[in-house]
Copies of this chain bind each other. A is one copy, B any other.
């Protein structure tokens, strides 16, 4: 893991190191077995810089990590919104959103644990602070309410919120158990998800499966950040 000798950025380009720090932190969080044990010196080593150099750009490791986790959280939200935008019915939107969520979660286990799974100490995660995942959850609850089999009595805002929460617990439980208990005899993930959605949306499993997108083969990281799990 010895780095090639890094040369100092030209005058006026101190920002470049900041970007490298962010990229290195993202890479380490994505690939470490236990991302919550990341240290400041590890980041410095990864970039090939003295530990003290980090303080010019971030007050401490917590700030740097929080920045990266916010990026990942926004990335997940964007993925779900993009998946939703390409659909033609409320049920298809629900399936698209949830599929995007679960696939991102199992495709990025390290990030998932740190961003959603509460692995980070208190304030470090984007969710334990101001937002708490409400944005993501609100979109989910709205979509679920629209996708439910029509014909029943109308639901209150409170009921929609509760149903969204319960759906989220299912999605989160699926991702987090799948990632942490790999030695269980798991059926295909898409199959589990389809049954889960069938339950929550009160639809037939086959109807859900027909709406599930194939696995995308393209990159799912924003430009400028490496696709660490390839």
Interface residues of A (CB under 8 A from B): 33-34, 36, 113, 117-119, 121-122, 127-128, 132-134, 137, 158, 161-163, 165-166, 168-174, 176-177, 179-181, 183-187, 191-192, 195-196, 199-200
Q: A183-B132, A191-B162 are in contact. Are A168 and B172 (CB under 8 A)?
A: no
CB atoms of B181 and A132 under 8 A apart: yes
Q: Hey, which chain B residues are within 8 Å of A199, CB to CB?
A: 166, 199-200
A184 to B158, CA, bound (A): 14
A34-B184 in contact (CB<8A): no
Considering the chains assembled together, what is the distance between the CA atoms of A162 and B190 in angstroms? 12
What CA separation (Å) do A177 and B165 show in the bound complex?
Answer: 10
Known A-B contacts A166-B170, A168-B173, A173-B168; A184 and B118 likewise in contact (beta carbons under 8 Å): no
- Extra A-B contacts (17), CB below 8 Å, given A132-B181, A169-B169, A173-B174: A117-B176, A119-B119, A128-B181, A128-B183, A134-B184, A158-B187, A161-B187, A162-B191, A166-B192, A166-B195, A166-B196, A168-B173, A168-B177, A169-B192, A172-B173, A173-B173, A173-B176
A128 near B170 with CB under 8 A, answer: no
Contact B168 A170 (CB under 8 A): no
List, in ascending order, chain B residues with CB within 8 A of A172's CB.
173, 176-177
Contact between chains at B121 and A184 (CB < 8 Å):
no
Report chain B residues within 8 Å CB of A200.
199
List B contacts of A134 (CB < 8 A): 184
Least CB separation from A195: chain B residue: B166
CA distance A36 to B33 in the complex (A): 14
Specify which chain B residues have a CB less than 8 angstroms from the CB of A161 in the assembled complex.
Answer: 185, 187
A34→B121 contact, CB < 8 A: yes
CA–CA, A169 to B128, complex, Å?
22
Chain B: CB-nearest residue to A193: B166
For A171, list chain B residues within 8 Å (CB): 173
22 A-B residue pairings within 8 Å (CB atoms)? A118-B176, A118-B180, A118-B181, A119-B119, A128-B180, A132-B183, A133-B181, A133-B184, A161-B185, A162-B195, A165-B184, A166-B195, A166-B196, A166-B199, A168-B177, A169-B173, A170-B173, A171-B173, A172-B176, A172-B177, A199-B199, A199-B200
